[in-house]
Structures are given as structure tokens and as C-alpha cells.
Chains A and B, each alone.
Chain A
Amino acid sequence: MIMYKKVAKSPVELSKQDFVSDQMVKWCPGCGAHAILAAVANVFPRIGYRKENFAMVSGIGCSSRFPYYVDTFGFHGIHGRAAAIASGLKIANPGLSVWVATGDGDSMAIGGNHFIHVLRRNIDINILLFNNQIYGLTKGQFSPTTPLGAVTKTSPHGTIEHPFTVSGLVMGAQGTFFARVPDNNIKLMSDVIYEAAKHDGTSVVEILQNCIIYADKVHEPVTTRDMREERQLFLKHGEPMIFGKNRDKGIMLTGNSLEVVEIGKNGINEDDLLVHDMYTKNPSIHRMTGWMKAPDFPVAMGVIRAAPADSYDGLMERQIETAKKNSKIQSVNDLLRSGDTWEK
């Protein structure tokens, strides 16, 4: 595998203030997006690149106003196309750290095709996917992640659509990096975004974001403070999967499926639990880990998958370097005069 992280480091230490733009933030008070903005401003200085080398790209939706609020180079695109725009930006200049702010409608519906193909190609861009399970900016229609049966403005009798599980789609599209965080845990969000930046390839960070107006509390069964220890599993590479207020529960691989077990009961101890390996290329356990849903399972948080693989942009640079070294055609004049020509 070739590593092609070419983004220049900042010669000076940057702070949060370096990334705050002069624009008024126009999200609703209480919207989960504010926390994401705070986490990004926190973590960009820590990532350490020159501030001119960050580029933020978005599509359409509440999430997609993001580029206006971060003081980087920014591009606010059209609905669903952020991944395609960002692909061109990153391939054209691999020296940029390219970020996409998108939502469940933007990336799972209208932009679904670009989403799966950017993952398949493993272009080194970072996708922050604000999953609030609703179309917010168009005021409350169901999205591809809205739970089956949910009543929304376009599903007055409840949806009859099976929702996507974002992790399932990412793994299905052979994504190499997937992480999940709730919007009320800025510390974890910052850590996970940092890991995403380090990953050489496409990273997807799914943020369980609350839309206070149209889908308030949809994530609450999992994210509320008094439930978080019971309903969330915080993954750490190399450590057994343990959760619960008293850290007395764990995840065990039984046959070919996962099972919640109580540590100390039925002769089960920590050694019997599944140990998280985020770097393994085999996606089987990552798929199952990402798939776990409340109330039967805790929802996995943190980096679920960070499998090493060649990035598209890296391979592209290598092909060009090789061709430049080996080809007789070094200029367009050479090309025009190559092959069959004759003098008159």
C-alpha cells in the first residue's frame, strides 16, 4: 500500500478561532449541528494542517450550510453531489484535506450513487454525515433513514419504507472507514473526526444528530444521558467490547452472530468477549458491530472500521509519476508529432 498523505502541516500552532468564519450561524437553537461545528473547530487545529489546505464541500440541506461557518476554502454545491465535487477537488489537488458535510437525505437519497462510488474508489476525503432521520430544510418529510412506520409530513399514515442503516451501506459499498457518534458527545466526536482525518481513504463519520423541530428526540432512546451507558458501546481498538453502567455486559461472538452477555454469569468472563479490531480488512465483524440496534443491543460508537487500502488519489498520482518517467511523450508538441506524420 502506498501512503500519499501530502497535506502540508501548519508552520504555526492554530486554534479554534482560526476556523471560525464571520458568518452568522443560522441553524435552529438546539440543533445538533451546532455541536458538530464546535467539534470540527476543536479538532482542525489538532489535525495540524495549514489552514489554507482545508476545503469543505457540501450539497443541499441543513447540514450543507456548514462550509459557510468554517473559515476554510468552501464550496456549497447542489443536492446530493458533494461527494462528486469533493472527488474532483481531491483528485485534482491531493495536497488538500477535503471534507464533506452532508445529511441523510443528501447522501442516502439523491446522492446515493456518488456516496457508494466514492467509497468503492476510496478517495481520501472525509464525510461528516449528519443523520437526523428527516428532511429538515424542506420542513419534515421522511428520509431514507427514517424508521419504518414513522409519521412525517409525507407519511401521515406512517412510512412503509425500510430505512438504510448507514453503516450497512458503507460496508456494502466496501468503505474502508466508518465511525458513529451521538451529537451530544463532543469529546468522542472530536476524537473520531481526528481518526477520520488520519485515515488514508474515504472516511464516513455518522453523527446521530437531533433535529429539534421535525424529528426531535428520535435518537433519544440511545443518546439520552441516563441511557448512554446501557445503550451505547464505546469501541476501543484492541479492547474487549464491554458496556453498561457497571461495565458488566459485553458482546460475544456466538456461532455466526453477536450476543449480549453478562460478565460473571454462566461462566463468562472478559476473555470470552469480542475484542475490537478496527484495522482488520475483513468487514464481517465490522458489519455486525455496526448493525447492532437498541433495545436488544447497544449501539456501537466510535471507530468501527479503519481498514488500510490504497486510495484512488494515491494510485492516480503513482500512475502519473510512472507515465511521466517512462513515456517518450513529454509535451503536447511531442504528442502532435508522434505516430504517423509526414512533411509536405
Chain B
Amino acid sequence: MVMVKEHDVRELEDVVIKFVGDSGDGMQLTGTLFSEVAAHSGNDLATFPDFPAEIRAPHNTIAGVSGFQMHIGKRKIYTPGDMCDVLVAMNPASLKANLKWAKPGATLLIDSSAFEEKAIGKAGYSDNPLEDGSLDDYHVIKAPVTERTRESLDDLGVDKRLAERTKNMFVLGMIFYLFGREMEKPLALIKKKFRDKPKVVLANQTALKAGYNFAEAMEETKVTFKVDPAPMDKGLYRNITGNVATAWGLLAAAERSGRPLFLGSYPITPATEILMELANHKSLGVKVFQAEDEIAGICSAIGASFSGSMGVTTTSGPGLSLKSEALGLAVITELPLVVVNVQRAGPSTGMPTKSEQSDLMQALFGRNGECPLMVMAASSSANCFHYAYLASKYAMEHMTPVILLTDGYLGFGSELFKIPDVNELPPINPPMADPNDPKFKPYRRDEKTLVRKWAAPGSEGLRHRVGGLEKTNIDGNVSTDPLNHQLMVNIREEKIGRIADYIPLLEVHGDPEGDLLVVGWGGTEGALASTVGRMQKKGHKISHVQFNFIKPLPKNTREVLSGFKKIVVCELNGGQFVNYLRMLLPEFKYQQFNKVQGLPFHVQELTDRFTKLLEE
């Protein structure tokens, strides 16, 4: 006789789930599958993988813990979430490392078969946390996952190794039960993922179903959760990471501008996915050159830009340092170039898989000479597409290098992306020189924008030379004339300044006047927007602006800042943007809130700080 347990369904507005285990336990895949299923059933979501730099650190150690966090909701989801409601831990080390991120009373789903004496010791526990009462404040679901997975696969004749590797699907099955999800979609996704390996498909599907059934029969799962679909604009959607969105934005810009895309790059965490993604799309004509070093990455891209292609290089902080000299070359030759810097924690090698915003000053000023270029920042995983597209547009239309700052948090994280029609994106009109134009001179400029013409080798009547030596304006001959140098320095600065006429104005979220203006730039948008949104609901006179354009600043920046009694600039660095604002707009008094821990802002710490500022 089957015992029917009493069943209670709890409705949630949003929920944060984190899968943690040993690297190699398949936590990334587990998380990705769950988020795809959630997205399909209509939830809004944001995800973030949290993994060590080591590929396979020693088994069962804290160093080897890999995680995947997701935040799903029936409302707009801005961030992957601070603390989790559900923590799935596959071994003692992952529990130890992540319990601090679980909310009080959170549900802990734990593979009890992994809690053997040796593993418990390796994690640094003196006693078994499943038995010593230390988890009493949580809702603990203990399941002998490893054991049960093996049992469920007994009849299939799969080897022990494969059985070991499908325990993540067993756990995922349990989670699907807990969240009342249909199994059709995940089963299909597994089939697609392992399509060439029927045995692996069968093992994973079997484990998934076994996990679901196991959870259904358990007493501890009598409460399950329900997260209804979120209201969203009509349209076609997909889940996308920031790095893939960046790659696709570049492809879209190349297509719309008619300029072939050339990427010269060197692998570096956390930017490598852009290089890998573009290498996949030769059918769109993109030429991807994996260079011998960062310098060759940017120099090859400059060579390609000189040829009339859309030259791009992608990197992270240490790579940007190596590219500094060549950036100056792109500035003085006035060629278009897009440099994507997926920022990570520095200095030096720093913490490659951890995110930070500490390359802003480097992007703005890290070159010899007076060397202005455009600096932009994406602010969500999905809008990396938009800003990569715009970075390319401004680079080509204004004949300048553009540094686009994203970060590891945006690059690795994912969210829902409303798929645009490429033909409806803003047009891109590169200033190509006409063959045999008798008026052509390398540095003759458009009066309004100060932009020179782009004359591709191969075009008749346009032979000319550019290079790293200072040139005379208009004619482009080598010159050390003092007044000409002053003129060229002024023009290069002014040319970037005038881009402000072509970028969108700064948008205030909330009232244009109030007690406190929260200022952020780039990847902190989600945390700042959700914090300010909540505080606005409570009646505080607080507003938020997020800068995507940093050099030049939007033209209404001064006007926006002047509407508030207090301004607080929040950044994941020591205070770089706030000092830039102090330099450009010294008439305002700026407070600052900085965090340099390789972690994103949490809503709670922001709320505390803003509340205090409002009270002071």
C-alpha cells in the first residue's frame, strides 16, 4: 500500500536556490538545467556560477567547492540573490563553505552518503554536522543520494564512474519535485545535451526520475514550493550569459555596419567565453585570431581595423595592462577598436574568478601621453548585448577605441534576454572614404564630430600612411611642430567629448529630486535597483542612477546630481568612479560606499547604508 502523505504547497514570490558540491560534481550543469526549466515555465531569473580557479582541486576540500546560484521569481528579478532559501550540498566541504549564505530556516538538501568520516574531516568539521545538532535551525532534507543513484542505475549496467557522475541528476530530480515542475522539459534537455551518447542520456534521465520519485515518497518533503510565472513583455526570450551576449552584440554590430568582424584575443579568465563563442560562428564571417599574447591580440585587431574591418579584442584586467601601449596607437591613428574588459579582482593575477570594478581608472587613464578614448560599461548580463553593439557603433562612427567594461559577475551570470530583431537596432554608419575622393586626407575631419574618414587599403586613390608618430592635422605627415601637437591633443580630447551629443541621457529611477541619490555604474545595477526600489516602496525619498557611459558622461549628469540633498556613489572598488566625478563635477559633495571582496553588493548591506545616510 502506498502511503499518501499530507501535502502542502507554499506559494513564493521569489526563491534563491544554490547548488554546491565538489568541482566535477556537475553543479554547473545542474544549475543550468534548472534555470532553463524555470525560464520555460515563465519565471524571471538571474543565475551566477561560483567556481574555483582550479579545474579540479583536491577532492572533498573547501578549495574544490563549486557552486551555481539562481534566483527565480514571479516578479522582475535583478540579481542572482544574496542569501539562499534552498541550499543543495553534495558533500561536507560544500556545506561548510556555503552554510553562511543560507537564510535562517532555509531548506538544506544534503547528500548524506557523502558524509563519511574522512570527508567530514577534510572539510574541517570535528563532528558530523548532520548529527551534532548544528543544523537544527534549518529544514534539513537528508538523502543518501550517491547510494540511491547507484541503486537506480543497477539494471542499466552502467559503470561505477558514470553512476557517480549522475548523482547530480538525482538531486535535480528531487528539486524538481520540491518545486512542482513538470519532468518533460528536463528530460528533453538531457537528451539534447548528451545527444551523441545514448547510454549517458539514459543514465541521467533514469537518475532524474529516481530522484523525483524518491522525494515524492519522503516525509520531509511534505511542503513543496510554487513560484508562478512573472509578468513580462510579449516577445521571444532566451536565457543568456553576459559573455555570450557580448559576443552576439559584436556580431550584430558587424552585420548592421557591413564591416567584417575580426577578433584578436588571448585566453584569460573571465573573458575567454567571448573568444570561444565567436570562434563558433564562422558561418557569419567572423575571423577569430587566437593570438600568442595580449599584445598581439590588440595589435592584430588594430591591423584589421586599418584594413576596414571592425577590430575587437577581449580581455580582463591584467590583459588590459599589456594592451596599454597599443591602445595609444589606436588613439593616435584614430582607428575604430572595441576593447572588452571583463573585469576581475586585482591587482596582478588577483582572484581571477571573482568579480570587481577596479579597472575603471586604468580604462580611463592607463596610458602614456594625453590619450583619451571612450569608456562604457554594461550593467546586466543581458544588456551586454546592447552595450557591445553600441560600443562597436560608437567606435566605428567616431573612429576611436572604445573600452567596454563588463565584469566576471555579468560575464558568467545569466538572465532572461528578450531577443531583438537585428534590423531594428540603431543603424551604424561608418565614415568610409569614397575611392578617388580628391579631397581625401588622412586627418581631414567632419566639422561637427571631428571624425576623420576611414580609408581601407585596396581602395583606389586613397593611399596614405598612419602610425604612432604625431601627425599634422589634415595632411597626416609626421610632425614635431609644437603648435600642431597642441592642436592634435586638443582635437583628440574634443572628439571624444563630442560623443556626448550622441549618447542617451542619464535616466533617474525614481523622483528627480529627493533626499538621497544612489549612483552606480556597470555591473552593480541589479543590487542597487532592487535596494532602492524596496526603499522607495517604504516611502523614502531615494532615487537611483546607473551610469553606462563614463567617458564622456551623459550631458545631463550635472542636472541630475543637483536634484538631491545627498549623493552616494557605490562601487566594487576603492572609490574610482567617485573620484572621477569629484574631478569633473567638483561642485557636489559625494559620499561613497565601497566593497572590494570579490563579491557583489548585497541588498541588506546597501539598505543598511542608505538608511543610515537618510537618518544622518
Beyond A53-B457, A341-B236, whether A323 also contacts B329 by CB under 8 A is no
Q: Specify which of A53, A88, A329 is in contact with B281 (CB 8 Å cutoff).
A: A329
Chain A residues 317 to 344 lying within 8 A of chain B, measured CB to CB, are: 319-320, 322-324, 326-327, 329-333, 335-337, 339-344
Q: How far is the CA of A296 from the CA of B184 in the complex (A)?
A: 81
Q: Contacts of A335 on B, CB cut-off 8 Å?
A: 248, 251, 281, 284
Q: Specify which of B237, B295, B311 is in contact with A81 (CB 8 Å cutoff).
A: B295
Q: Contacts of B36 on A, CB cut-off 8 Å?
A: 340
On whether the beta carbons of A344 and B285 are closer than 8 Å, the reply is: no
B467 interface contact, C-beta 8 A: yes
On whether the beta carbons of B463 and A88 are closer than 8 Å, the reply is: no
On whether the beta carbons of A88 and B464 are closer than 8 Å, the reply is: no
On whether the beta carbons of B300 and A84 are closer than 8 Å, the reply is: yes
Question: Interface digits, A74-104 against B, CB 8 Å rule (1 contact, 0 not)?
Answer: 1111100100111111111101100000000
Question: Interface digits, A51-93 against B, CB 8 Å rule (1 contact, 0 not)?
Answer: 1110101101000000110011111111001001111111111
Q: Specify which of A81, A96, A322, A329 is in contact with B307 (CB 8 Å cutoff).
A: A96
A113 interface contact, C-beta 8 A: yes
Q: Specify which of A87, A92, A323, A343 is in contact with B282 (CB 8 Å cutoff).
A: A323
Question: Which residue of chain A has its CB nearest to the CB of B329?
Answer: A78
On whether the beta carbons of B458 and A52 are closer than 8 Å, the reply is: yes
Q: Specify which of A92, A316, A339 is in contact with B304 (CB 8 Å cutoff).
A: A92
Q: How far is the CA of A19 from the CA of B317 in the complex (A)?
A: 43
A236 interface contact, C-beta 8 A: no
Pair count A-B, CB < 8 A: 201
Q: Contacts of A57 on B, CB cut-off 8 Å?
A: 303
Beyond A75-B467, A78-B326, A81-B299, whether A89 also contacts B236 by CB under 8 A is no
On whether the beta carbons of A78 and B248 are closer than 8 Å, the reply is: no
Chain A residues 98 to 125 lying within 8 A of chain B, measured CB to CB, are: 113-114, 117
Beyond A113-B293, A319-B282, whether A68 also contacts B465 by CB under 8 A is yes
Question: Which residue of chain A has its CB nearest to the CB of B471?
Answer: A76
Which bracket fits the contact residues of A? 35 or more
On whether the beta carbons of B466 and A330 are closer than 8 Å, the reply is: no
A23 interface contact, C-beta 8 A: yes
Beyond A52-B462, A88-B307, A92-B287, whether A340 also contacts B467 by CB under 8 A is no
On whether the beta carbons of A81 and B457 are closer than 8 Å, the reply is: no
B235 interface contact, C-beta 8 A: yes
Q: Specify which of A71, A87, A324 is in contact with B463 (CB 8 Å cutoff).
A: A71
Q: Contacts of B235 on A, CB cut-off 8 Å?
A: 343-344
On whether the beta carbons of A344 and B232 are closer than 8 Å, the reply is: yes
Most buried by B among A71, A72, A91: A91
On whether the beta carbons of B232 and A55 are closer than 8 Å, the reply is: no
On whether the beta carbons of A93 and B308 are closer than 8 Å, the reply is: yes
On whether the beta carbons of A74 and B465 are closer than 8 Å, the reply is: yes
B179 interface contact, C-beta 8 A: no
On whether the beta carbons of A52 and B326 are closer than 8 Å, the reply is: no
Nearest Cβ on chain A to B185's Cβ, whole angstroms:
10
Chain B residues 443 to 463 lying within 8 A of chain A, measured CB to CB, are: 456-463
Question: Which residue of chain A has its CB nearest to the CB of B250?
Answer: A332
Beyond A92-B287, A320-B282, A341-B238, whether A52 also contacts B463 by CB under 8 A is yes
On whether the beta carbons of B295 and A342 are closer than 8 Å, the reply is: no
Q: Contacts of A81 on B, CB cut-off 8 Å?
A: 295-296, 299, 326
On whether the beta carbons of B248 and A85 are closer than 8 Å, the reply is: no
Q: How far is the CA of A71 from the CA of B284 in the complex (A)?
A: 34
Q: Contacts of B289 on A, CB cut-off 8 Å?
A: 87-88, 91
On whether the beta carbons of A324 and B309 are closer than 8 Å, the reply is: no
Q: Contacts of A72 on B, CB cut-off 8 Å?
A: 463
B421 interface contact, C-beta 8 A: yes
B15 interface contact, C-beta 8 A: no
On whether the beta carbons of A91 and B300 are closer than 8 Å, the reply is: yes
On whether the beta carbons of B325 and A78 are closer than 8 Å, the reply is: yes
Q: Contacts of A343 on B, CB cut-off 8 Å?
A: 235-237
Question: Which residue of chain B has its CB nearest to the CB of A72?
Answer: B463
Q: Contacts of B287 on A, CB cut-off 8 Å?
A: 91-92, 316, 320
On whether the beta carbons of A329 and B284 are closer than 8 Å, the reply is: yes
Nearest Cβ on chain B to A69's Cβ, whole angstroms:
10
On whether the beta carbons of A330 and B326 are closer than 8 Å, the reply is: no
B110 interface contact, C-beta 8 A: no
User: 15 A-B Cβ contacts within 8 A?
Assistant: A52-B462, A67-B467, A75-B333, A76-B467, A77-B467, A88-B303, A91-B304, A92-B307, A114-B296, A335-B248, A335-B281, A336-B419, A340-B239, A342-B39, A344-B236
Task: Apart from A76-B467, A329-B281, A344-B233, list 14 A-B contacts with CB within 8 A.
Answer: A52-B462, A71-B463, A74-B463, A75-B333, A76-B465, A76-B466, A78-B325, A78-B328, A81-B296, A84-B264, A113-B293, A316-B287, A342-B40, A344-B234
